[in-house]
Amino acid sequence: MKDEDKTREELIHDLVDLRHRVEELKTCLEERKQAEKVLQEQREELRIILDNVPAYIFYKDKLGRYIRVNKALTDRIGISEEDWIGKTVFEVLPNLAERYHRDDMEVIASGQPKRYIIEPFETPEGIRWAQTDKIPYRDLKGDVIGIIGLSIDITERKHAEEALRKSESKYRFLYQESPSISLIIGKDGLLKDANKKATEELGYSKDEVAGKPALDFIVPEQRENVAAQLEKNFRGECTPETEVDICTKDGSIHTILFSAGQVLYDDEDHPTSILVAGVDITDRKRAEELIKASLREKEILLREIHHRVKNNLQIISALLNLQSKYIKDNEAFETFRESQNRIKSMALIHDQLYQFKDLAKINMAEYIQNLTTDLFYSYGVGRDRIELKLDAQDVLVGVDTAIPCGLIINELVSNSLKHAFPDSMKGEICIGLRSNNDHAFTLTVRDSGIGFPGDLDFRNTGTLGLQLVITLVEQLEGTIELDRGTGTTFKITFEEVEL
């Protein structure tokens, strides 16, 4: 009986234990189900992430067969996911497979990642470029069971780098082969580079100039100024073209005309160096000095010619003056004086050219003042009886215009002094000379005397003076008008003589 009861008790105990085990199993199954649900959710999240990142992601086993590829990769290559899974790269991308497979096996064998692999890949649109990282794919024990690859499309960057490389190559060629002397000077003042023209002109090799202070190649007296110019360039200020004397390797001095420098910057937009370009103007400077010396010689000779012409005319005037002392006839004496005054008017031109800094132009205001002063003295007329009013701009004309213009003024003022003021009559003589434009002028000679005879045609007179005036006006290709309104006014318009 006891044995039967014990067996029953054991049975009950076993049933209770079984119930506990069933409950535990149910709990385990529920937890496993929940874990599988979480795992499925995580897998779905991972799939969503993998399929939405712009990078290309793939998994391979140890045999190089694809386990997983993301949507970005399948869309770009144009091959569906089903056609990747379980296949090797030799089946999917045969043209470039060897290159890819070699990298895969290297990562699997070494257990080390391989990064920054730049490689091409084929797409329906053509060849593109990717930067790929490949890392070992490990199981929970840490054993390598394949690889994981992540690639980003760098095609645009690759094209930009290639364009930059070509651009740099082109500008490097232009820099090296430029006919100008080009130097790159660092912010520390050291020469970083010199192009072919610079080394040829200055006689130094690149190794002899690289890393040397740029100012060491400049004559000492110019170094401070050049340093200041470079500093302004680095601050972004504009600087003018500068002539710099450079010491060449053979000891000679070459003058280089440098333009304003171009500042060069690093990736963070900090100025690092400056490119300066210039041309050797040594020969030009020598030629300029020779020309200047030649011009100085010619100027001295021309001044000497004007001085001698003036002296000769003064000698002729003096001879006429001496000769006139032996003339008893008043009419002949007057003729001699008129000739003497005409010679003086021409001598004044050459005297002014000799003294004036411009050997080609005459200041007519100054000339007229000197001429009329001599005429008043010649005819013994005081300024207290006849006032002279001069209204002449600072007109500059060439000698071929000044001489006929001076002779015209000489004749008209002489006529006024001789005929307009009889019997010690008082009055005034006004002379005006104005520029109408660059080459046209108006000359007026007016007196307040008794007036020009009404019955006399000034264009057809028997007097030498007015005939000379008409001839000189024609020589100047000008016009002459006479106004008898108040006193006598001659108005002459002419243009400068162009030879």
pLDDT computed for residue 347 by the predictor: 66
Q: Are 44 and 50 in contact (CB under 8 A)?
A: no
* Full-model pTM: 0.43
**Whose CA is closest to 211, among 193, 234, 230?**
193
CA dist 71 and 66 (Å) reads 14
Q: What is the pLDDT along the chain (499 residues), one digit of tens a residue?
A: 445 555 777 777 777 778 888 888 888 888 778 777 777 776 777 677 677 778 899 999 999 999 999 988 999 899 998 999 999 999 999 988 998 999 999 999 999 999 999 999 988 988 999 999 999 999 988 999 999 999 999 988 888 878 777 766 666 665 677 778 888 888 888 988 888 888 888 888 888 888 889 898 889 999 998 888 888 888 878 778 888 898 888 888 888 888 877 888 887 788 888 888 888 888 888 888 777 766 666 665 555 555 566 566 666 666 666 666 667 777 777 776 677 677 776 666 656 655 665 656 778 888 788 888 888 877 788 888 999 998 887 788 887 888 788 888 888 988 888 888 988 899 999 999 988 876 789 999 999 989 888 778 888 876 777 888 888 898 888 999 999 888 899 999 998 876 5
Tell me, what's the pLDDT at 1? Answer: 44
Separation between Cα atoms, residue 488 and residue 451, nearest integer Å: 5
Q: How far from 416 is each of 193, 357, 459, CA to CA, in Å?
A: 80, 33, 17
pLDDT at 469: 86
Backbone dihedral region of 269: left (phi > 0), alpha (psi from -120 to 50 degrees) or beta? left
